[in-house]
Amino acid sequence: MGSSLSPYRLSKARDRYNIFNFFNALSYALLAGNIITLFALRLNASSTMIGLLNALVYISYFFLPLGKMLCKLFPIIKIYSIAWIMRSLFMGVVLFVPFMENAGRHDDALKLTLLGVSLFHLFRGAGLIANNPVLDELAVGPDRGSYMTLIQIINNAVAMFASFALALLLGRNPSLILYAIIMGAGIVGGVFSGALLRGIPEPEKDAGEPKGGVLKIAWDAFSKPAFRNFMILFLLVALVSAIARIFVVVYAREVFSQNDGMVSLYTVFGGLGALMMGMIIKFFVDRVGAKPLYLTCIIVGFLGLLPTIFFPGKAVDNPATVIPYLSFLFFIVNFAFLGAEGIAQTYFLSLIPAEGMLDLGILYFFIFGIGGGGGSFLAGIFLDTFDGMGISMFTTFKVLFILLVIILGVVLFFQKKLVSLGSLPLKGALEIMFSFKDLRAITLLDKLKKTEDSEGEGLLLEALYETPSKLALKGLLDKAKSPRLTTRSDALRAVGALENLGEDAEKALMSDLITNPFTTAYLSARILGDHGFFPAVPVLRELAASKDYMLAGEATIALAKLRDEAFRPEIEKIIAKTKNPRLKIMGVEALGIYGSPNSLSVLMDLLRVKDPPPYLRDAVILAMASILDIQNRFYPLLVRFLEDNFLAPVIAMDEAEEAYELFMSGRKGRRASRKESEGRFTTKQAKALQPAVAAYMNESKGGPLAQWILELPQDLVQEVIRVVLTELVLDDEFSSYGRLKLLISHWAAHQLRILTKDIPISVKQS
């Protein structure tokens, strides 16, 4: 869904919403986070009461229909703002709790606490009706998941630092008055955050229109398997998340006798875990998708709860064990389950249609409320029931955590029913998460999005070329549409470095091939050839005759790489006809790639041309070396020859001498009783190579070498090669071509090396 806001207004709205989230998270941490659990424990509340207080967080979602009714009368942002202000103001009743407790009215203090928290969440629930529409309006574009995760990062970072501050303030034995002062600060922050909402643009009207009753919405939605499967698993995850995150505080207090200050310190580790998972999700969500990250969070939660099952009872009173253990437990519980809750919303918003945002959002929060609220309340009853039976809290919590692990195991078993929504499979996502190359590519892409400097853009594209990753493809294809030619070229070059192109890249390259001659089409032709994209053959055949000589040349080379043998004679005609040096050289290179001995005569004719273009003869010689299957070994010899032309005879003789010595050493290594087979090469014939090469290189007498070539075994050399090379050796016109003479001499020595091996010989087929 696209936003109705212009880029400037969207950026401005996001900035204001980010500030709102900062103060909102601070207010929530001081009013309704773990501080409420600690406050209730300070009042000696039962586990059932604690479960009920925390269940109100989720029960608040059932007041969403109230907010929906108000949408008929008022703008949605106005509802959001007033509800947020009112929830903070009504929480003010809790400020009187310390006075009631000091007056000995303990039950009334608990009731007033319950009232304040209930009113807080009632107004919160009514205002939450605006959450999804506002977030959907602001989280648009390719960074949708990333921006949604940024909101979570802000919330988690503030919560973590607030927890650290609380740990310092609460200390060992905090007074209820101190709690009241902290909550008073939270009320001020909540009112201010509510006022900030007035500056957020109103979402489109259709996002706030009612679509029917809750039962009808639920029936229609749950009739779709994809939605139904997600919601069932989400219910179970919400249940486990609520119990684990809420009662880990009780676990620390009641099982390990940790004071409020230490518990607040542990919540700092919990905040750090949530912050780290938020950053991980933000980094990956737009690259790998929501589903694998959701499953990763669940897996981490499953593994993170296992130590609670196996923690030894004898270590309960050992601070050296307990402190690291609880720090890890708070960290991993928040890391996994807050991460799961956050990425679940991203998955949900991708799953539903835009027109169902409001109504299905209510259903989403209903399920969240049922899972979280029901889990919190039932867990509280469970703990009190076991406590009433005289079972130790240590054993009770161990049983509770076993049940949570079993539920997560069920979720993991049925996770395959979740649709991918374009996400990578879990295995592929994990490979990316642990791949330095992919991580660097993501980092470079994020920088590339933000850079506006052409020089910086070029450097980043060069880095992406050196760090090929499939995750970079979409970003590179976007840059391939840049108005700057250099950027388009660099982007396509980086695309070409990828191991696999994929359908999107293939389509983009084919389009570029056709629509952008004289600019980047030649690069697309090269990439398609390098990656073996055979459907491009018909278009490449047409482009081999293009007026864009760079494109025509790359098209011929691409056709050679694609082994379009039927078009090779056409390339030979193009080479003979064209006057363009670059196109002629590229055509020659194409013939070398084909490797057909039938092209040797065409290449030989090119050597007869007077005053050939620079480097044409080198290209012809290298193409012939490719056809003769000796290019890798011959290339360094050619480089040495070009550095000093007078070295040609010396290099050729060295090659012949080395081949002969290798041949003789091979002969000596055989059993003495073995006779040389008739029809194969003899020692006498091998010895004749050196004088034949010497006569050819020093005196330009090719007869002995031609005779030597003709005597090679029939199964070693194809007839067309034998004929062409013999003709070249005997043709006086080529007697001064040092490159050619060196090539033929080296080829002859290479044949002797092959004979030395005395193994079945595979010859190239034309």
Residue 505 corresponds to which tokens in the numbers above? 């890249």
For residue 462, pLDDT beyond 80: yes
Q: Nearest 5°: CA angle at 132, between 126 and 137?
A: 130
Task: Say which residue, 582 or 157, is predicted with more confidence.
Answer: 582
Cα–Cα distance measured from residue 156 to residue 280, given in angstroms and rounded to the nearest whole number: 13
For residue 763, pLDDT beyond 70: no
Smallest Cα–Cα separation from 278: which of 324, 189, 368, 345? 345
Percent of the chain beyond pLDDT 90?
23
- What is the arithmetic mean of pLDDT over 410-436? 79
Cα–Cα distance measured from residue 482 to residue 488, given in angstroms and rounded to the nearest whole number: 6
pLDDT at residue 680, rounded to an integer: 61
How would residue 305 be classed by pLDDT, with cut points 50, 70 and 90? very high
Cα–Cα distance measured from residue 135 to residue 357, given in angstroms and rounded to the nearest whole number: 10
Across 26-40, 171-185, 523-537, 679-693, the highest mean pLDDT is recorded for 523-537
pTM listed for this prediction:
0.65
CA distances from 433 to 207, 293, 428, 429 (A): 36, 10, 9, 6
How would residue 606 be classed by pLDDT, with cut points 50, 70 and 90? confident
DSSP state letter for 209: S
How would residue 526 be classed by pLDDT, with cut points 50, 70 and 90? very high
pLDDT at residue 356, rounded to an integer: 64
Mind listing the domains of the chain with CATH numbers?
Answer: 16-432 (1.20.1250.20), 647-667+682-757 (no CATH)
Question: Average pLDDT over the chain, rounded to whole?
Answer: 84
- Convert the pLDDT of each residue in 287-300 to its tens digit: 777 888 889 999 99
For residue 354, pLDDT beyond 70: no
Cα–Cα distance measured from residue 542 to residue 698, given in angstroms and rounded to the nearest whole number: 47
Q: At what angle do helices 485-496 and 503-515 cross, to 10 degrees?
A: 140
What is the SS3 string spanning 434-494? CCHHHHHHHHHHHHHHHCCCHHHHHHHHHHHHHCCCHHHHHHHHHHCCCCCHHHHHHHHHH
Task: Say which residue, 561 or 417, is predicted with more confidence.
Answer: 561
Tell how far CA 216 is from the center of its chain.
Answer: 39
Give the lowest-confidence range in 352-366, 393-407, 483-497.
352-366
- What is the arithmetic mean of pLDDT over 160-170? 78
Half-sphere CA count of 583, side-chain side, radius 13 A = 21
How would residue 758 be classed by pLDDT, with cut points 50, 70 and 90? low
For residue 436, pLDDT beyond 80: no
pLDDT at residue 221, rounded to an integer: 74
How would residue 556 be classed by pLDDT, with cut points 50, 70 and 90? very high
How would residue 626 be classed by pLDDT, with cut points 50, 70 and 90? very high
Cα–Cα distance measured from residue 528 to residue 479, given in angstroms and rounded to the nearest whole number: 18
The alpha carbon dihedral of 42, 44, 47, 52 has a sign of negative
- The Cβ of residue 86 has, within 10 Å, a number of other Cβ atoms equal to 20
- Convert the pLDDT of each residue in 227-241 to its tens digit: 888 888 999 999 999
Task: Say which residue, 621 or 289, is predicted with more confidence.
Answer: 621
Alpha helix positions (H), 32-143: 34-42, 47-59, 64-70, 76-90, 97-102, 106-127, 131-138
Cβ(729)–Cβ(706) under 8 Å?
A: yes
Cα–Cα distance measured from residue 277 to residue 634, given in angstroms and rounded to the nearest whole number: 56
Residue 406 corresponds to which tokens in the numbers above? 């079993």
For residue 61, pLDDT beyond 60: yes
**Helix, strand, or coil (residue 693):** helix
CA distances from 292 to 429, 436, 728 (A): 6, 19, 65
The alpha carbon dihedral of 351, 353, 358, 360 has a sign of negative
Cα–Cα distance measured from residue 743 to residue 720, given in angstroms and rounded to the nearest whole number: 17
pLDDT at residue 623, rounded to an integer: 93
For residue 329, pLDDT beyond 90: yes
Tell how far CA 182 is from the center of its chain.
Answer: 43
- What is the arithmetic mean of pLDDT over 446-456? 74
For residue 553, pLDDT beyond 90: yes
Q: Exposed (0-12), middle (13-18) or buried (19+): which is 7, by Cβ within 10 Å? A: exposed
pLDDT at residue 518, rounded to an integer: 93
**Helix, strand, or coil (residue 702):** coil
CA distances from 181 to 31, 313, 592, 646 (A): 11, 38, 84, 95
Phi, psi (deg, nearest 5) at residue 581? -60, -45
Cβ(470)–Cβ(442) under 8 Å?
A: no
Task: Say which residue, 418 or 173, is predicted with more confidence.
Answer: 418
How would residue 759 be classed by pLDDT, with cut points 50, 70 and 90? very low
Cα–Cα distance measured from residue 471 to residue 477, given in angstroms and rounded to the nearest whole number: 11
pLDDT at residue 552, rounded to an integer: 94
CA distances from 565 to 234, 528, 603, 752 (A): 57, 17, 17, 30
The alpha carbon dihedral of 453, 456, 460, 465 has a sign of positive
Residue 1 corresponds to which tokens in the numbers above? 């869904």
pLDDT at residue 212, rounded to an integer: 53
Tell how far CA 87 is from the center of its chain.
Answer: 41
- Convert the pLDDT of each residue in 8-30 to its tens digit: 888 888 888 889 989 988 888 88
Task: Identify the helix (H) or strand (E) that includes residue 598.
Answer: none
Q: Which string of b and e fits 168-203 if b means at least 16 CB within 10 Å?
A: eebeeebebeebbebbbebbebbbbbbebbeebbbb
- What is the arithmetic mean of pLDDT over 542-556? 93
| Distance from the first to the final alpha carbon of the chain | 57
pLDDT at residue 452, rounded to an integer: 67
pLDDT at residue 357, rounded to an integer: 65
DSSP state letter for 599: G
Cβ(9)–Cβ(201) under 8 Å?
A: yes
What is the SS3 string spanning 416-433? HHCCCCCCCCHHHHHHHH
Q: At what angle do helices 131-138 and 76-90 cross, to 10 degrees?
A: 130
pLDDT at residue 107, rounded to an integer: 86
Cβ(571)–Cβ(584) under 8 Å?
A: no
Percent of the chain beyond pLDDT 70?
92
How would residue 172 be classed by pLDDT, with cut points 50, 70 and 90? low
- Convert the pLDDT of each residue in 64-122 to its tens digit: 888 878 888 888 889 989 999 998 999 988 899 888 888 888 888 888 988 998 999 88
Task: Say which residue, 433 or 28, is predicted with more confidence.
Answer: 28
